């Protein structure tokens, strides 16, 4: 067990390092882009500076129309500086928003990849059931340290599958329905047994656990993925 634990810990640390490096890379790239963008934006007071130079270098502009024109230019320069300042604020907010989205996307991507790997490992290994106790009196099944309350019908289906597992048998839906209902297999429908298995899986709750615990073997039927030594019924 120690090598598996060490391997899992190493994988977890490696995944955390990937996330940390990815977040740092995203922040650095966007920070560099922001610095480059802000440095190359025109000066907000550039227009006002040019208008001021017109006032200083053309002191012979004394007519009313000329003075009015200079006033309009000055107002235009002020408006331009205010608009450019608002653009800077908008660009800053967009960059922060883009950074947050990229970081969230990276975290979600790594999380999804990690979950897919865990699910694949579970699917390859199956469920490791060390003990499975079926209690008819309590109408429950105890899998390892977990207790699942079942309906009478689900409990009967599970008991039939457990008995078949002890005999190394794979039961079809019609066979399950025949044993539970007490009728002849020829009089039972495959779909009825499949429905009983589905209800059993629903009663167990977790879809992944139930699908791996009650396995479907193509063109053969259903079987419990539990070792015979781990099965008990009381």
CB 214 within 8 A of CB 161: yes
pLDDT (0 to 100) of residue 46: 64
Residue 108 and residue 43 share a domain: yes
Do 166 and 229 lie in a common domain? yes
CATH number at residue 208: 1.10.10.10
Which residues does 4 contact at the CB level (< 8 Å), separation at least 6?
Answer: none
State the pLDDT at residue 39. Answer: 74
Q: In terms of residue numbers, what domain contains 222?
A: 132-233
CB atoms under 10 Å from CB of 187, counted, come to 10
Among candidate residues 98, 125, 152, the one where a domain is terminated: 125
Enumerate long-range contacts of 62-69, CB under 8 Å, 24 or more apart. Answer: none
Same domain, 86 and 193: no
Last residue of a domain, one of 75, 90, 125: 125
pLDDT at 210: 67
Q: What is the pLDDT of residue 8?
A: 47
How close are the terminal C-alpha atoms of the chain, in Å? 32
Q: Are residues 73 and 143 in the same domain?
A: no
pLDDT of residue 43: 65
Same domain, 169 and 184: yes
* Overall number of domains in the chain: 2
Contact between residue 91 and residue 98 where contact means Cβ atoms under 8 Å apart: no
- 100 and 194, same domain (yes or no): no
Say whether both 121 and 139 belong to one domain: no
Are 142 and 97 part of one and the same domain? no
Distances from the Cα of 159 to the Cα of 25, 115, 167, 184, angstroms = 56, 32, 13, 19
pTM: 0.47
- As averages over each run of 10 residues, the pLDDT of the chain (234 residues) reads 45 64 77 76 66 66 64 69 74 81 79 72 61 84 80 87 86 89 87 88 70 80 80 76
């Amino acid at each position: 067990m120690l090598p598996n634990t060490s391997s899992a810990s190493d994988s977890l640390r490696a995944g955390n390092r990937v996330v940390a490096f990815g977040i740092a890379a995203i922040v650095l790239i966007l920070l560099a882009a922001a610095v480059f963008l802000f440095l190359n934006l025109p000066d907000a007071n550039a227009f006002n500076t040019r208008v001021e130079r017109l006032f200083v270098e053309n002191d012979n502009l004394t007519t009313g129309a000329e003075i009015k024109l200079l006033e309009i230019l000055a107002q235009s320069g002020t408006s331009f500086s205010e608009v450019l300042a608002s653009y800077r604020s908008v660009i800053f907010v967009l960059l922060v928003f883009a950074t947050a989205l990229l970081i969230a996307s990276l975290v979600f991507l790594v999380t999804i990849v990690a979950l897919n790997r865990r699910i694949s490992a579970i699917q390859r290994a199956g469920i490791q059931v060390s003990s499975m106790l079926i209690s008819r009196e309590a109408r429950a099944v105890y899998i390892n340290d977990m207790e699942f309350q079942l309906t009478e019908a689900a409990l009967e289906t599970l008991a039939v599958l457990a008995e078949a597992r002890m005999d190394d048998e794979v039961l079809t839906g019609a066979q399950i329905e025949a044993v539970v209902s007490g009728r002849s297999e020829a009089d039972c429908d495959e779909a009825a047994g499949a429905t009983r298995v589905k209800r059993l899986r629903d009663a167990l709750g977790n879809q992944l656990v139930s699908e791996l615990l009650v396995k479907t073997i193509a063109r053969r039927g259903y079987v419990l993925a539990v070792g015979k030594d781990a099965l008990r019924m009381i």
